[in-house]
Chains A and B, each alone.
Chain A
Amino acid sequence: MTLLSGIRSLAQEERTDTLNAAVLQTDKYKKMARSQTSLKTLDNTLLKRGFAMLGSPDLVKTMQMLPGVSSGTELLSGLYVRGGDGSDNLYLLDGVPMYQTSHLIGLFSSFNVDMVEDADFYKGGFPARYGGRLSSVVDVNVRDGSFDKWCGNVSLGLLDGRIHIDGPIIKDKLSLNFGIRRSWADLLKTLATPMISDKQQIEMIQGTTYVFSDINMKVTQLAHDGSKISLSLYGGRDYGKMRFIEEYDESDNDIKMHLGWGNMLASLKWNKHITDKLLFDSNVYYTSYSSIIGVEGKELGSENTRLISESNESIIHDVGCNLDLYCNLVKNNRMKFGCSVLGHNYAPARECSYKVYIKETMLVEKETKATCNYLGAEMALYMEDEIDLWAWGKVNIGFRENLFFVNDKHYNCFEPRIALRANLNNDFNLKASFSETNQFAHQLSSTYLDLPTNIWMPSTSVIKPMNSKQWVAGFQWNLPRSLSVDVELWYKDMKHLYEYQGANTMLPAIDGWELYYNEGKGRSYGIELGLEYKNESVNASVYYTLSKSERLFPSYYYDWYPDRNDNRHKLNIQYQYRINNNFLIYAAWLFHSGNHFTAASAVSVENDSYIVRDGEYCIAPNLYSLPAYHRLDLGLNWYRTMKNGRIRTLNFSLYNAYCHFNAISAFIRIDEKGKLSGRAICLIPIIPSISYNWTF
């Protein structure tokens, strides 16, 4: 029953929403007691109370607010951690790696917050049990269903809706937690269709849609011997299609385009306390990612018909197993060790077909296909040992030994990990860490957008594993009046980074893809300051980051140049105030130096006028900065507890409340006064939204 005591249902949490000062105090000292650096734990309450853009609370958008993280393009779910490139974050859903972490081209993340118990977000000082990505680890724990009683909630946001239930299948033994989410904007199309009379337009509207959905399920069983078995399933998918019909004198064109991408995850976990001091944990899992983008064209002429189709598909199947042992056999010494085996299958494919018919006779038929298939295996052995240094502090020493096999090539990478904490007194400690990581999967992307055109490929004999070394040092100081200060300095060195150079196509090459990547390296360093205040009704934080992130790709430029997401200053102020049991208000102000962009450094002068030739006279990438980014987000949660104990929550939120035009991109142009200046492009500046949540 000890496990049961730790399991809280969502309903219970909502009803006991008032934060307890004693719990806060415990949290504070828990943080002081661990040697871990650069870790932020986001619990379900924090996620649900935070700002909900388009009425949907979002894990990745919450993490974007943290120090040391750049969000990249406005509104999207980019996570560029301490100079990372966005594809180097390890997302784990109940211990299973997830490749695709967003919906709607990055507008929403793939994590349904109703299902999330908490998420550990590591930006550095990675424990040895984690590996395979360079910049961060986002370890999302899915909540076990309640073993006590059934509860759930229904939410309706501006673009999506969610249903969640959890409860006991067999009381105190077997529980279920289930959540489903779906966008519903496509239903508007159904409503709009009867209003249109033109048959061609109706066909085009019916042939155009966009839907995303995800489904989560977790079944947990508690055994009499204290062991726990849980089965987790996740399926997420985005699907879109478009249809264009054009009529000309000579021919009619009918073009259909479809795209889709998503993940499937399944895991079976078993953990058991072998003795009071020995815990065994095992996880067998399957994860897959698939994306498809295809076009079908039909040209109906007076005499002949041409059919063109193209399909691009990328599929990854991974099967893995983790075995971990946690032991506390020796006093003041806690060891964790384990191993993991992960089998990869990367199989992108491209097919094209071209057919010409005259009347019903096929005149021309051409079909082409390009595929490649990589079988890889990633094996790791890890060990970490946390040793108490009497009253002085703690040291955590560990390593991770990786072996990666792909086709006829293998890599052996040893990764040392060390973390140190020194207590100066009960409220002040110093901390430091070093970690090295390698990444064997590479996202091949011809754009910065999260599109199904992105392909994942393994390291090969040509493409080396990406490597990063990160040093972190800082202190944590608990001040009086529930204030705490956290300061960290970091330096990160990255090598074998790759950038796509075949920019004349959205679709990266499949045959000989390794030829189209430039190799380079990166470095980033900075300081992060965090000031937090918590009491029963107020939760406030101020985060500031001063950082620099650079790249060196000799094929572009001989010297270091700024990374695209190199935001020199980042300041984030958040404030949450629980006015009473019925109202909670939220405000966050975010400021950061503008992202960098590439444009001409010089222009031609012809006949007394200036001619900008983008790219031709560029001296180096990313030398210009966009204007500074800032916005204010406001939110109000209105809770209403019904007589039967059920809670209704109405959320109003305003993204970018003062309507600041934040640039997503820019170029160089001659302004009205004949002066060369930057022209910034902005998207939707202000987004009001409303959502309704019913908890039962």
Chain B
Amino acid sequence: MKKHIPFILVSLLISSCEYSFDVESPIREPILSFKYISGMNTSCDSTCYFEIELLSPVGGKMIENNEYVIQKLNFTADGKEVEWEREINVHTGEPGTRYKAKMPNLPETKLELYMEAEGLKPISASVVIPEKPDFKYNCFKEKTTQDEDNTNYIVEVIVDNVRDEDYLGIKIDWDSGWGQRPTLYIKGVGADYSLMNSPDYMFYHWEDDFFFLIGKNEIQNGKLYFQTELGFETKEDMRIKLYRFSPETYSYFFSSYNNAENVLGHYNLAPPVFVYTNIKSGFGILGAASCTELKMEFNEQTTDQFSDRPQS
């Protein structure tokens, strides 16, 4: 036995472990989650999809599936009813969580939601669709480049009537013919492109759509700079898309990104980050965005600096 004692002691010393314990949640009953952001991923004929999901409480009355019976679902745009249709879940053949609707996406339209389901707390939310942003841009080839195959371009985006409370996002859209939408061509946003001073710099995706949220520091005097690197891609079909989000939508994206990146917070070693919700008595988001799109013209003239670009 004696010879095992050092081994046991060392094992105890170096071991870290996990164990289960019961948790008490403040939510004891199932709860609804609603997700829809107007202006994102909307097809040409204004058909859109939103999702209403039934969630199970942690530590409370668990549910076995996410089926629920709607008693009332009012979705209005400026007070007018929006037509919706609940889709069937292909796996179960039962009514699913996805809804199809014809939704107008006109600036300053107020969208309102009210829903009651059997045995559940009613949920409600509202949002106003923001104005489309107006912008122009200048694009120049950068003098220095990392390798022979790729070319760096610096893009100066000038946003008209930018306000302090503006919440913007940007992407370069490109239909490669392979179904890809490579926003990744934005390498860095900001005065120095390095983003080192911008903890709110983020790359976010909503369903299949990818874009950058523009941080509070990134836009100065109505101007935003970013760098893009192009290689074999055709420059013909590239477009700059500038989004203006409602404050709720920006908060949702901002907090979602921070939450995903908050690794230490998940281990309780950093302040927590919650995903914002504006759904009363529920979770999720009823958001809105407006987008302006311009075709990208590449100027092959080289430059290192824009004259009034803020210096870091």
Residue of B nearest to A669 (CB): B20
A624 at the interface (CB under 8 A from B): yes
- Interface size grouping (class) on chain B: 35 or more
Per the bound structure, the CA–CA distance linking A685 and B12 in Å amounts to 7
Per the bound structure, the CA–CA distance linking A683 and B91 in Å amounts to 44
Q: How many A-B residue pairs have CB under 8 A?
A: 226
A610 at the interface (CB under 8 A from B): yes
Contact of B144 among A363, A556, A684 (CB under 8 A): A363
Per the bound structure, the CA–CA distance linking A595 and B267 in Å amounts to 13
Residues of A within 8 A of B275 (CB): 615-618
B73 at the interface (CB under 8 A from A): no
Per the bound structure, the CA–CA distance linking A509 and B200 in Å amounts to 9
B88 at the interface (CB under 8 A from A): no
Per the bound structure, the CA–CA distance linking A595 and B258 in Å amounts to 23
A240 at the interface (CB under 8 A from B): no
B64 at the interface (CB under 8 A from A): yes
Residue of B nearest to A505 (CB): B199
Residues of A within 8 A of B194 (CB): 352, 354, 366, 368
Residue of A nearest to B66 (CB): A605
Contact check, A679 vs B18: say whether CB atoms are below 8 A apart.
Answer: yes
Chain B 258-277 interface mask (CB, 8 Å, partner A; 1/0) = 11111011111111111100
Per the bound structure, the CA–CA distance linking A352 and B194 in Å amounts to 9
Contact check, B146 vs A363: say whether CB atoms are below 8 A apart.
Answer: yes
State which of A61-69, A88-96, A375-383, A511-519 sits at the interface with chain B: A511-519
Contact check, A504 vs B199: say whether CB atoms are below 8 A apart.
Answer: yes
Residues of B within 8 A of A307 (CB): none
Contact of A370 among B13, B196, B256, B260 (CB under 8 A): B196
Chain A 644-688 interface mask (CB, 8 Å, partner B; 1/0) = 000000000000000101011111110100011111111111111
Contact check, B146 vs A606: say whether CB atoms are below 8 A apart.
Answer: no
CB-CB under 8 A for A350 and B197, given A448-B270, A615-B273: yes
Residues of B within 8 A of A668 (CB): 23, 58
Restricting to B1-38, which residues have a CB under 8 Å from any CB of A? Answer: 9, 12-27, 30-31, 33
Residues of A within 8 A of B192 (CB): 366, 368
Contact check, A686 vs B13: say whether CB atoms are below 8 A apart.
Answer: yes
State which of B48-56, B107-115, B231-239, B287-295 sits at the interface with chain A: B48-56
Contact check, A504 vs B202: say whether CB atoms are below 8 A apart.
Answer: yes
Contact check, B197 vs A370: say whether CB atoms are below 8 A apart.
Answer: yes
Contact check, B272 vs A598: say whether CB atoms are below 8 A apart.
Answer: yes
B79 at the interface (CB under 8 A from A): no
Per the bound structure, the CA–CA distance linking A505 and B194 in Å amounts to 14
Contact check, A503 vs B271: say whether CB atoms are below 8 A apart.
Answer: yes
A600 at the interface (CB under 8 A from B): yes
B198 at the interface (CB under 8 A from A): yes
State which of A125-133, A187-195, A430-438, A494-502 sits at the interface with chain B: A494-502
Residue of B nearest to A617 (CB): B283
Contact check, B257 vs A556: say whether CB atoms are below 8 A apart.
Answer: no
Residues of B within 8 A of A685 (CB): 12, 15, 17
Contact check, B19 vs A682: say whether CB atoms are below 8 A apart.
Answer: yes
B230 at the interface (CB under 8 A from A): no
Contact check, A623 vs B25: say whether CB atoms are below 8 A apart.
Answer: yes
Contact check, A502 vs B199: say whether CB atoms are below 8 A apart.
Answer: yes
Residue of B nearest to A358 (CB): B147
B62 at the interface (CB under 8 A from A): yes
A508 at the interface (CB under 8 A from B): yes
Chain B: minimal CB distance from A209 (Å): 20
Chain B: minimal CB distance from A298 (Å): 16
Residue of A nearest to B193 (CB): A366
Contact check, A623 vs B26: say whether CB atoms are below 8 A apart.
Answer: yes
CB-CB under 8 A for A665 and B268, given A615-B275, A621-B274: yes
A163 at the interface (CB under 8 A from B): no
A19 at the interface (CB under 8 A from B): no
Contact check, B217 vs A512: say whether CB atoms are below 8 A apart.
Answer: yes
Residues of A within 8 A of B70 (CB): none
B65 at the interface (CB under 8 A from A): yes
Contact check, A602 vs B268: say whether CB atoms are below 8 A apart.
Answer: no
Residues of B within 8 A of A623 (CB): 25-26
Restricting to B50-106, which residues have a CB under 8 Å from any CB of A? Answer: 53-59, 62-66, 91
Residues of B within 8 A of A40 (CB): none
Contact check, B24 vs A624: say whether CB atoms are below 8 A apart.
Answer: yes
Chain A: minimal CB distance from B141 (Å): 14
Contact check, B258 vs A684: say whether CB atoms are below 8 A apart.
Answer: no
A449 at the interface (CB under 8 A from B): yes
Residues of B within 8 A of A614 (CB): 259, 266
Contact of A602 among B31, B145, B147, B216 (CB under 8 A): B31
Contact check, B197 vs A615: say whether CB atoms are below 8 A apart.
Answer: no
> Which residue, B197, B259, B268, has most C-beta atoms of chain A within 10 A?
B268
Contact of A310 among B18, B57, B196 (CB under 8 A): B196
B180 at the interface (CB under 8 A from A): no
Contact of A624 among B19, B23, B200, B257 (CB under 8 A): B23
**Can you report 8 residue pairs joining A to B where beta carbons are below 8 Å apart?**
A501-B273, A602-B27, A610-B62, A626-B21, A665-B268, A667-B267, A682-B17, A687-B13
Give me the interface of A with B, judged by CB distance under 8 Å. 73, 304, 310, 350, 352, 354, 356, 363-366, 368-370, 446-449, 499-506, 508-512, 515-516, 556-557, 564, 595, 597-608, 610, 614-627, 659, 661, 663-669, 671, 675-688
Known interface pairs A499-B271, A598-B272, A616-B283; 12 further A-B residue pairs with C-beta atoms within 8 A, sorted by A's residue number? A368-B192, A446-B270, A448-B271, A504-B199, A509-B199, A516-B200, A601-B57, A610-B56, A669-B20, A680-B19, A684-B15, A687-B13
> 9 tightest CB-CB pairs across the interface, nearest first?
A502-B199, A504-B261, A615-B259, A665-B268, A598-B272, A602-B55, A503-B262, A678-B23, A511-B197
